[in-house]
């Protein structure tokens, strides 16, 4: 089968599946469900294939194969043996009897992953962001919040950022003092700060929702344009048009 | 201390019944709830503050519980026994059955109130307690073996001056000298009436008649300490030292309690009445304190002023009961000399009797008559004949007397009904009308001395004269109303008055007959009987007024002369502190019961069937009882003869021992004092709150357990109505999505179906409109777009790359985000290819590699890029953040195998892309195209923070929804992103820059999408606005129509 035909079938399949998905606008129907199941199944199957052929085979089986065949391997590939053993122990988690044997491998994965994630979050996000925001409050610092504005504007902008950050955090401060027998109330300054933080949160969530809406609308636009473009492309690929 | 309302928590003043804030009824801090009225009383209250009902019932088995000892953590907390708890069970039951109308009044008439009960219902009183319930001292009393040597010690106590032979009560003397129950050693005067000798006066009576103490020289210190301590502490101060006083003190000099006990009608200066007796040798100081407390409550207003005055007792100075006795003894009593309170007791019918008595001995001067008697006298003179001729009509008799009337037919009882004054029924007090005599027929009054109660062979006892029976009910005050039954109860069968003939049997109640019956034998019935015999229930009610009962005892035919009776003073009374011998507590209690024993007339040894007297019940603490017990107790009291017979003298009495129940009542502090465990310092703190308030010795564990939990009650957050509404709205939104919803089979309405189809159609048409129009009508083209700093920074970053620079592009998005991010990634790759940069594509998502390959496939041909030489798709980077860190450190180690296309590194060794060194820091640019914040953060945190990555520029093309999250990495003092392009608008603007920079290869892919998106967004906004307008209009229309 010619490549163009395959491409034409692919475009046609995409066209059909897109229509099946949009059929939900008329209500829940088998076509929509079928399209959803196909999308999930194809996506998972594709991921499995990618992992097998992109990770397991080249990075796990390849070194063993080279070792068995006597080919030269790199120094770093020898450690893949340890990773392979840990991977085997992870498979033992599938059975309740052998699950404890996989705890070491699971602990290794979780420990390494957590350490990497926490370290990266602290050193890569938290500290840089805090320092950048605090430095913005220093008049003599380099303006970065509003690079094109003056120092005062940047200080004010940084002040807004700091205020928004603190008040947003205070919004989630739920400690309160008991008032009377069965009522509690947060301190007044926390209540006021929380209200301001609540406003910042609403603005942030509104921005996120707007971005999500625009993103969704962009996808819709791309799909609608695809629906308009697909028939002609199919005909072009099939040399029918 | 404030009380907290349990409804609203507000603090209220202590004692408040209702909350000052919410009006809720407050629970009193005290826990004693009155069973009658529901009022909360202090825990120490024995009687209700509101209604006077008894609160603290007798605690049966309390001694047993306390006797078990206080084992910390196991036993109940020990509480200081209240006076009621000190009492025997049977006495507690009697007390519990008695309800005082008022606490204060109760205190004032403390002695009289119990007598009311006994006097009101002597017949229906509860049966005597069993022998087991009887305290040890009562059992000891009935031991005949202990009596013998009690009467053989006349004047046994030389330390008590003035106490000679007359110190021995006649009843004791009789019991000792004349075992015969029929005998009576009470002296009889010339007329045959028992002579009231002062020597025969018991100590308590001496207190009531101070005149008899004139000759007594004994000092207060002569009293045994246990007697001094037995009485209330305030008694010595309240009662004037009568021994040294001359003349009657002014009323103002009387103690308060005496003034309170004094009747309102009491004349300020009562006239002395006929002396009833002479030679009272006992000084008031020798009197028992408890007698001072008890007896004066009835007679102290009249007696206290005359304390210690003369040898002869003036009639007016005597208490009423004594005056009645004197009257019975043919002692002339001038009516005006009687105290007013006696007027309340003395009925109108009594007046003639008094006059009769006065006819024989004393003439009553009209001027000497008190006011009350003056009021009574004319009527009495008219209605009441002399005692000899007094004839009481049946209808005039009190109800209880009418019920006694049938007893006049008793052969043994003298028939003197015709001599009794008539008593109108209406003259009876309420308590008399409500007495148990109502059960009897008024026409057949019960015999004064029932045959059944009379011992066999016992001679008939003369009934008391009618004059001794109070019938002036209308003149009785309240407090006398309470004491009136007492007076009746004390009107035991008296010896016939001289010249008045035998007493009328109907005048005596049944219970008096029983008393008289026992009196005839020298001992009360309950003592005459076996040890197993129970104590008469009325014993408690006749506690402190023995004289009235004693005066009514008939004179025995062979009464002993007064001189002989003088020796009959109990040895225990004549003993001093130095003479005290160790006596157990049981013996110490005996004088309490024997308080009523000394007879005024000295004729009979009558032990009042009394339990613990009130003074014992009023002891503040058990310590006093202990001290009392440690003091001397009359040895003779436990040697009373049984059945009127003198018990054989026992040379050596068995060593007495403290009963266990009394040992158990011993306070802990006393035990500590004895054992030296701590004494006062070792006292445990008293409870300050709760049911055990005021109780010492409560276990610590109890306090811990009873303490409220330390943890604060769970509080709830203050949730406003608005928040609740939001919560409900959110729940309504979420809940349907959580539960599986079956497909709706019902057809939608046409309007809804049209609406549901119209909206997407409009959106689709709006999106396609720029396509059909060849451009967006809402934009002026690319020229009008002003790229934001992030786009220009990204553009400049690529533009500043050196030739053949190495750019790593991460396609970290899935096909779902491809519609938005593929135009962005395509324009970035286009720019890189335009710059001739080598491109190394990776992806942290499995599907990203395919997307990257698709972008390269579309653009490679346009820019002549060859896979392996100009670009390379390494594929998927597994491991998330850790995989990225490993990829940044050793990129080729991670991709040691084949790449996305299956080309091994060995086969592509000569390719240009392989020029990538061992570190990602060798790259010139890193572009991350993603729609997930975590993916971008992983690149920034794991790759961008590496020390060698500072020189590597890093830019991001993200989805429009991710921009708020990513912008802080770009727009900060130390930006971690050198450029940022977001969404289709950013891609369009970037595309505009490229088209301007590289005009040979124009691209409008992102711009087309942006145009369709802009129109579609405008259409959506318009529909939303239209919906708001439609909804508002519909609401207004509905409101106008009244449907809203």
Same domain, yes or no, for A127 and A186?
no
Give the residue-averaged pLDDT of A93-103. Answer: 88
pLDDT tens digits, residue range B574-592? 544 444 444 444 444 443 3
| CA B663 – CA B69 distance, rounded (Å) | 11
CB contact under 8 A, A25 and B964: no
Residue pair B464/B350 in contact by the 8 Å Cβ criterion: no
Which residues are paired to B925 by β-bridges? B807, B953
Q: Closest by alpha carbon to B967, among A223, A157, A48, A24?
A: A157
In a domain, A83, yes or no: no
Least confident of B54-68, B344-358, B731-745, B778-792: B344-358
The average pLDDT across B147-153 equals 39
Alpha-carbon span B563 to B558, nearest angstrom: 14
Q: Does A53 touch chain B (CB under 8 A)?
A: yes
Tell whether B963 lies on the interface with A, counting CB pairs under 8 A.
yes
The better pLDDT of the pair A17, B462 is held by A17
Question: CB–CB of A183 and B819 under 8 A?
Answer: no
Q: How confident is the model at residue B715 (pLDDT cuts 50, 70, 90)?
A: low
Residue among B302, B286, B180, B199 at smallest CA distance from B248: B302
Apex B544 CA angle, B56 and B492, nearest 5: 120
Lowest mean pLDDT among B306-310, B762-766, B869-873: B306-310
CA distance linking residue A36 with residue B298, whole number of Å: 106
Contacts of A136 in chain B (CB under 8 A): 972-973
Is A103 found in the same domain as A54? no
| CB pairs < 8 Å spanning A and B | 220
Residues 6 or more apart whose Cβ sits within 8 Å of residue B45: B30, B32, B55, B56, B103
Residue A226, min C-alpha distance to chain B (Å): 9
Task: Decide if A206 touches B, using CB distance below 8 A.
Answer: no
Cβ burial of A125 (10 Å; 0-12, 13-18, 19+) is: middle
Tokens (6 digits) for B687:
């409870």
Instruction: Mark which residues 798-817 of B lie under 8 Å from A by CB.
Output: 814-817
With an 8 Å Cβ cutoff, are B898 and A58 in contact? yes
pLDDT at B895: 65
Record: contact A215-B817, CB cut-off 8 A: yes
Distance CA(B572)–CA(B628), nearest Å, equals: 13
Mean pLDDT of chain B, nearest integer: 60
Of B818, B914, B886, B898, nearest to B858 by C-alpha is B818
Distance CA A141, CA B826 (A): 38
pLDDT in tens, B845-863: 888 888 998 999 889 888 8
Percent pLDDT > 90 in chain B is 5
Same domain, yes or no, for A41 and A111?
Answer: no
Of how many residues is chain B composed?
1044
pLDDT class for B11, splitting at 50, 70, 90? Answer: confident
Instruction: Out of A58, A77, A211, name the one closest to residue B964 (CB).
Output: A211
- Residue-by-residue DSSP string for A108-146: HHHHHHHHHHHHHHIIIIIHHHHHHHHHHHSTTSPP-SS
Q: What is the pLDDT of residue B591?
A: 39
Min CA distance, B1 vs chain A (Å)? Answer: 19
A212 touches chain B (CB under 8 A): yes
Q: Do residues A166 and A218 share a domain?
A: yes
A127-156 exposure pattern, b = at least 16 Cβ within 10 A, e = fewer: ebbeebbebbbeeebebbbbeeeeeeebbb
Q: Kindly state whether residues A48 and A73 are assigned to the same domain.
A: yes
pLDDT given at position B139: 52
Is residue B671 a contact partner of residue B677, using CB atoms and an 8 Å limit? Answer: yes
A54 contact B CB<8A: yes
More confident residue, B503 or A113: A113
Per the model's pLDDT, the better-predicted residue between B858 and B249 turns out to be B858
pLDDT band at B810 (very low <50, low <70, confident <90, very high): very high
CA nearest to B120, candidates B428, B375, B382, B532: B428
**Which pair of structure tokens corresponds to residue B829?**
């790759």
Angstroms from A98 CA to nearest CA on chain B: 24
User: When comparing pLDDT for B83 and B929, which is higher?
Assistant: B929
Mean pLDDT of all residues in B181-195: 42
Q: What is the pLDDT of residue A146?
A: 62
Q: What is the pLDDT of residue B794?
A: 92
Q: Is B747 on the interface with A (CB under 8 A)?
A: no
Is the minimum CB–CB distance between A47 and chain B shorter than 8 Å?
Answer: yes
* A181 close to B (CB below 8 A): yes
Mean pLDDT, chain A, integer: 84
pLDDT above 70: residue B732: yes
pLDDT at B981: 92
Using DSSP, state whether B565 is helix, strand or coil: helix
- What pLDDT, in 10s, does the model give residues B860-870? 888 888 887 78
Q: How high is the pLDDT of residue B665?
A: 76
Q: How far is CA B221 from the centre of its chain?
A: 44
Q: Does A124 touch chain B (CB under 8 A)?
A: yes
What is the per-residue pLDDT for B900?
74
Residues A5 and A37 in one domain: yes
Q: Give residue B898's pLDDT.
A: 65
Report yes or no: B875 at the A interface, CB cutoff 8 Å. yes
What range does the domain containing A42 cover?
Answer: 1-77
Please give the share of chain A, as a percent, with pLDDT higher than 90.
Answer: 16
Record the tokens describing residue B116, joined without a space.
């009311």
User: Does A222 reside within a domain?
Assistant: yes
Mean per-residue pLDDT, B413-436: 46
CB-based contacts of B610, cutoff 8 Å, min separation 6:
B539, B540, B542, B543, B592, B593, B595, B596
Edge-to-edge strand list for the sheet holding B979-982 = B871-876, B838-843, B806-812, B925-930, B953-958, B979-982
Q: Give the tens place of pLDDT for each residue, B770-779.
A: 878 777 666 6
Cβ pair A135:B9 closer than 8 A: no
Who wins on pLDDT, A203 or B682? Answer: A203
Instruction: Determine the pLDDT at residue B569.
Output: 52
B1025 touches chain A (CB under 8 A): no
Could you tell me the maximum CA-CA distance found in chain A, to the nearest angstrom? 82
Which residue out of A75, A172, A217, A231 would a mutagenesis test of the B interface target, given it has the greatest number of B Cβ atoms within 10 Å? A217
| A64/A5 same-domain check | yes
Q: Do A184 and B716 touch (CB under 8 A)?
A: yes
Cβ of A25 within 8 Å of Cβ of B756? The answer is yes
Q: Which of A103-117, B564-578, B1026-1040 has the lowest mean pLDDT?
A: B564-578
A142 and A127 in one domain?
Answer: no
Query: In this structure, are residues B404 and B506 in contact, taking their beta carbons and an 8 Å threshold?
Result: yes
Does B736 contact chain A (CB < 8 Å)? no
Residue of A39 and B306 predicted with greater confidence: A39
By the CB < 8 Å criterion, does B880 face chain A?
A: yes
Tell me the two tokens of residue B490: 């004390």
Residue A50 domain-assigned (yes or no)? yes
Query: How many domains does chain A contain in total?
Result: 3
The residue ranking higher by pLDDT, B738 or B850, is B850
Q: Does the distance separating the beta carbons of A214 and B1017 come in below 8 Å?
A: yes
Q: Which residues in chain B have Cβ-Cβ distances shorter than 8 Å to A215? A: 817, 820, 931, 959-961, 983
Of B717, B896, B961, the CB nearest to A184: B717
Q: Which two tokens stand for residue A111?
A: 């420990």
**Rounded Cα gap, residues B28 and B2, in angstroms:** 11
Spatial contact of B198 and B617, defined as CB atoms under 8 Å apart: no
Whether residue A236 is found in the same domain as residue A152: yes
Say if A82 falls within a structural domain: no
A54 vs B963: CB contact, 8 Å cut-off? no
Which of B166-180, B641-655, B761-775, B952-966 is the most confident on average?
B952-966
Residue A41's pLDDT is: 92
SS3 per residue for B731-779: HHHHHHHHCCCCCCCCCCCHHHHHHHHHHHHHHHHHHHHHHHHCCCCCC
Amino acid A16: pLDDT: 93
**Both A104 and A186 in a single domain?**
no
Q: Which of A51, A183, A221 sits opposite B1013 (nearest CB)?
A: A221
Whether the pLDDT of residue B835 is over 80: the answer is yes
CB nearest to B715's CB, from A62, A136, A183: A183
Residue A154 shares a structural domain with residue A211: yes
The answer to whether residue A18 is domain-embedded is yes
* Residues A228, B768: C-beta atoms closer than 8 Å: yes
Q: Quick check: B898 contacting A, CB < 8 Å?
A: yes
State residue A179's pLDDT score.
Answer: 80
Angle between helices B750-773 and B1005-1041 (to 10 degrees): 150
Task: Please name the member of B823, B902, B959 whose beta carbon is closest to the beta carbon of A215.
Answer: B959
Any domain includes A29: yes
**What's residue B564's pLDDT?**
44
How many Å apart are CA B586 and CA B292, to the nearest integer?
A: 23
Question: Which range (A58-67, A79-88, B99-108, B372-381) has the least confidence?
Answer: B99-108
Which residues are within 8 A (CB) of B629 and not within 5 positions of it... i.e. 6 or more apart?
B226, B583, B584, B585, B588, B589, B658, B662
Residues of A in contact with B8 (CB under 8 A): 180-181
Q: Is residue A122 part of a domain?
A: yes
A123 touches chain B (CB under 8 A): yes
Measured between CB atoms, does A203 come within 8 Å of chain B?
A: no
Give pLDDT, residue B498. Answer: 39
Judging contacts by C-beta atoms under 8 Å, the chain B residues touching residue A50 are 846-847, 849-850, 875-876
Report the gap between the CA of A51 and the closest CA in chain B (Å).
Answer: 7
Nearest CA in chain A to B935: A117
- Chain B residue numbers with beta carbons less than 8 Å from the beta carbon of A220 are 763, 767, 819, 1016
A210 is a domain residue: yes
Specify the 3-state DSSP secondary structure of B194.
strand
Closest CA to B398 of B363, B352, B438, B361: B438
In the predicted structure, residue B327 carries a pLDDT above the cut 60: no
Six-digit token pair at B282?
A: 């006992």
Helix B112-120 with B89-96: angle, nearest 10 deg: 90
Q: Tell me phi and psi for residue A132, to 5 degrees.
A: -65, -40
| Residue A176 sits at the chain B interface (C-beta within 8 Å) | yes
Instruction: Select the highest-mean-pLDDT range: A29-38, B164-173, B751-760.
Output: A29-38
Least confident of A60-64, B417-421, B761-765: B417-421
A22 at B interface, C-beta within 8 A: yes
Crossing angle of the two packed helices B789-799 and B818-835, in degrees rounded to 10: 40
SS3 state of residue B691: coil
- B347-367 pLDDT, tens digit per residue, is 444 444 444 334 444 444 445
Q: Do A182 and B940 touch (CB under 8 A)?
A: no
| CA atoms of B546 and B515, how far apart (whole Å) | 12
What residues of chain A lie within 8 A of the CB of B918, using their CB? none
Least confident of A210-224, B437-451, B632-646, B681-695: B437-451
Is the pLDDT at A29 greater than 60, yes or no?
Answer: yes
pLDDT tens column, B996-1014: 888 777 778 888 888 888 8
Interface test with A, best of B747, B786, B942, B961 (most A CBs within 10 A): B961
Question: In chain B, what residues touch A51 (CB-CB under 8 Å)?
Answer: 846, 876, 878
Most confident option among B16-25, B162-171, B261-270, B702-711? B16-25
For residue B54, list its beta bridge partners.
B47
Q: Tell me, yes or no, if B37 comes closer than 8 A to chain A by beta carbon.
A: no
CB distance A124–B945 less than 8 Å?
yes
A8 and A33 together in one domain: yes
């Amino acid at each position: 089968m010619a490549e163009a035909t395959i491409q034409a079938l692919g475009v046609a399949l995409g066209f059909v599946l897109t229509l099946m998905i949009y059929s939900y606008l008329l209500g829940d129907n088998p076509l929509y469900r079928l399209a959803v199941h196909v999308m999930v199944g194809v996506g998972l199957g594709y991921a499995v294939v990618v992992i097998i052929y992109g990770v397991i085979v080249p990075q796990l089986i390849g070194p063993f194969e080279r070792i068995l065949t006597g080919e030269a391997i790199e120094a770093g590939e020898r450690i893949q043996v340890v990773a392979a053993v840990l991977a085997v122990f992870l498979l033992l988690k599938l059975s309740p009897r052998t699950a404890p044997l996989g705890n070491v491998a699971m602990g290794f994965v979780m420990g390494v992953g957590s350490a990497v994630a926490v370290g990266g979050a602290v050193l890569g996000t938290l500290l840089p962001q805090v320092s950048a925001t605090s430095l913005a409050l220093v008049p003599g610092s380099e303006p970065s919040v509003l690079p094109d504005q003056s120092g005062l504007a940047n200080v004010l902008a940084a002040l807004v950022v700091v205020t928004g950050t603190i008040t947003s955090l205070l919004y989630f401060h739920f400690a309160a003092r008991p008032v009377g027998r069965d009522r509690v109330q947060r301190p007044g300054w926390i209540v006021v700060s929380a209200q301001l933080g609540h406003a910042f949160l609403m603005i942030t969530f509104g921005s996120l929702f707007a971005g999500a809406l625009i993103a969704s609308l962009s996808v819709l636009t791309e799909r609608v344009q695809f629906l308009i473009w697909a028939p002609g492309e199919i005909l072009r690929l099939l040399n029918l048009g | 201390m404030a009380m907290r309302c349990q409804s609203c928590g507000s603090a209220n003043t202590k004692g408040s019944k209702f909350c000052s804030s919410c009006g809720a009824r407050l629970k009193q801090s005290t826990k004693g709830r009155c069973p009658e009225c529901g009022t909360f009383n202090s825990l120490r209250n024995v009687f209700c503050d509101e209604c006077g009902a008894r609160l603290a019932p007798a605690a049966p088995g309390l001694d047993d519980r306390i006797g078990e000892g206080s084992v910390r953590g196991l036993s109940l907390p020990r509480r200081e026994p209240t006076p009621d708890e000190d009492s025997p069970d049977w006495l507690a039951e009697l007390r519990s059955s008695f309800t005082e109308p008022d606490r204060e009044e109760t205190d004032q008439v403390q002695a009289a109130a119990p007598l009311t009960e006994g006097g009101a219902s002597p017949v229906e009183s509860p049966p005597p307690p069993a022998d087991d319930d009887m305290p040890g001292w009562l059992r000891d009393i009935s031991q005949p073996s202990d009596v013998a040597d009690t009467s053989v010690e006349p004047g046994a106590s030389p330390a008590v001056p003035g106490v000679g032979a007359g110190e021995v009560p006649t009843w004791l003397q009789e019991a000792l000298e004349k075992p015969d129950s029929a005998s009576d050693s009470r002296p009889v005067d010339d007329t045959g009436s028992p002579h009231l000798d002062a020597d025969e006066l018991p100590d308590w009576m001496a207190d009531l008649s101070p005149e008899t103490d004139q000759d007594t020289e004994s000092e207060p210190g002569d009293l045994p300490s246990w007697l001094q301590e037995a009485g209330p502490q305030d008694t010595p101060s309240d009662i004037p030292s009568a021994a040294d006083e001359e003349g009657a003190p002014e009323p103002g000099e009387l103690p308060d309690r005496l003034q309170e006990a004094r009747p309102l009608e009491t004349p300020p200066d009562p006239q002395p009445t006929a002396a009833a007796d002479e030679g009272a040798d006992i000084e008031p100081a020798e009197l028992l304190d408890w007698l001072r407390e008890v007896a004066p409550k009835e007679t102290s207003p009249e007696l206290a002023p005359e304390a210690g005055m003369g040898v002869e007792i003036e009639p007016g100075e005597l208490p009423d009961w004594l005056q009645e006795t004197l009257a019975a003894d043919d002692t002339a009593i001038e009516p005006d000399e009687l105290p007013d309170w006696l007027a309340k007791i003395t009925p109108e019918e009594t007046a003639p009797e008094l006059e009769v008595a006065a006819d024989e001995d004393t003439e009553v001067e009209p001027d000497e008559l008190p006011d009350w008697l003056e009021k009574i006298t004319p009527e009495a003179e008219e209605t009441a004949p002399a005692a000899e001729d007094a004839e009481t009509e049946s209808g005039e008799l009190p109800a209880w007397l009418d019920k006694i009337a049938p007893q006049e037919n008793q052969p043994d009882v003298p028939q003197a009904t015709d001599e009794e004054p008539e008593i109108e029924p209406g003259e009876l007090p309420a308590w008399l009308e409500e007495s148990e005599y109502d059960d009897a027929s008024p026409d057949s009054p019960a015999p004064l001395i029932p045959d059944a109660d009379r011992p066999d062979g016992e001679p008939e006892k003369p009934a008391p004269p009618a004059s001794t029976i109070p019938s002036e009910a209308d003149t009785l005050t309240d407090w006398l109303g309470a004491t009136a039954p007492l007076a009746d109860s004390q009107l035991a069968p008296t010896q016939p008055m001289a010249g008045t003939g035998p007493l009328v049997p109907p005048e005596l109640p049944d219970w008096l007959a029983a008393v008289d019956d026992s009196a005839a034998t020298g001992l009360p019935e309950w003592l005459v009987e076996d040890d197993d015999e129970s104590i008469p229930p009325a014993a408690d009610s006749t506690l402190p007024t023995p004289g009235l009962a004693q005066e009514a005892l008939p004179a025995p035919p062979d009464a002993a002369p007064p001189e002989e009776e003088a020796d009959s003073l109990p040895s225990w009374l004549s003993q001093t502190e130095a003479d005290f011998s160790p006596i157990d507590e049981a013996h110490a209690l005996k004088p309490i019961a024997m308080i009523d024993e000394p007879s005024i007339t000295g004729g009979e040894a009558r032990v009042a069937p009394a339990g613990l007297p009130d003074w014992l019940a009023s002891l503040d603490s058990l310590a006093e009882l202990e001290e009392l017990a440690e003091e001397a107790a009359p040895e003779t009291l436990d040697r009373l003869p049984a059945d009127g017979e003198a018990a054989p003298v026992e040379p050596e009495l068995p060593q007495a021992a403290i009963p266990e129940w009394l040992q158990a009542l011993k306070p802990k502090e006393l035990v500590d004092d004895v054992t030296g465990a701590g004494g006062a310092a070792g006292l445990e703190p008293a409870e300050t709150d709760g049911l055990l308030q005021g109780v010492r010795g409560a276990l610590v564990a109890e306090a811990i357990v009873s303490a409220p939990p330390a943890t604060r009650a769970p509080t709830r957050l203050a949730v406003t109505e608005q928040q609740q509404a939001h919560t409900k709205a959110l729940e309504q939104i979420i809940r349907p999505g959580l539960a599986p919803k079956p497909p709706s089979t019902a057809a939608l309405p046409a309007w809804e179906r049209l609406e549901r189809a119209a909206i997407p159609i409009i959106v689709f048409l709006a999106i396609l409109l720029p396509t059909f129009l060849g451009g967006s009508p809402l934009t002026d083209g690319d020229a009008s777009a002003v790229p934001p700093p992030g786009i220009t920074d990204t553009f400049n970053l690529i533009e500043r790359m050196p030739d053949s620079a190495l750019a790593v592009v991460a396609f970290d998005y899935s096909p779902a985000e491809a519609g938005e991010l593929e135009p962005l990634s395509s324009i970035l790759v286009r720019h890189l290819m335009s710059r001739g940069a080598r491109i190394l594509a990776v992806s942290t998502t499995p599907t990203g590699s395919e997307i990257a390959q698709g972008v390269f496939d579309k653009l490679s041909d346009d820019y002549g890029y060859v896979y392996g030489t100009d670009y390379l798709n390494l594929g998927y980077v597994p491991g998330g953040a850790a995989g990225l860190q490993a990829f940044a450190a050793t990129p080729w180690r991670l991709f040691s195998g084949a790449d996305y296309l299956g080309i091994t590194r060995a086969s592509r060794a000569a390719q240009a892309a392989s020029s990538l060194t061992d570190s990602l820091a060798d790259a010139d640019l890193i572009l991350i195209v993603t729609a997930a914040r975590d993916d971008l953060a992983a690149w920034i945190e794991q790759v961008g923070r590496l020390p060698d990555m500072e020189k590597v520029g890093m830019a991001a093309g993200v989805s429009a929804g991710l921009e708020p999250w990513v912008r802080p990495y770009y727009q900060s003092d130390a930006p971690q992103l050198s450029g940022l392009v977001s969404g289709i608008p950013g891609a369009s603007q970037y595309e505009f820059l490229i088209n301007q920079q590289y005009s040979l290869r124009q691209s409008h892919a992102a711009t087309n999408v942006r145009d369709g998106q802009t129109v579609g967004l405008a259409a959506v906004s318009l529909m939303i606005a239209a919906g708001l307008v439609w909804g508002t209009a519909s609401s207004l229309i509905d409101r106008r129509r009244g449907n809203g």
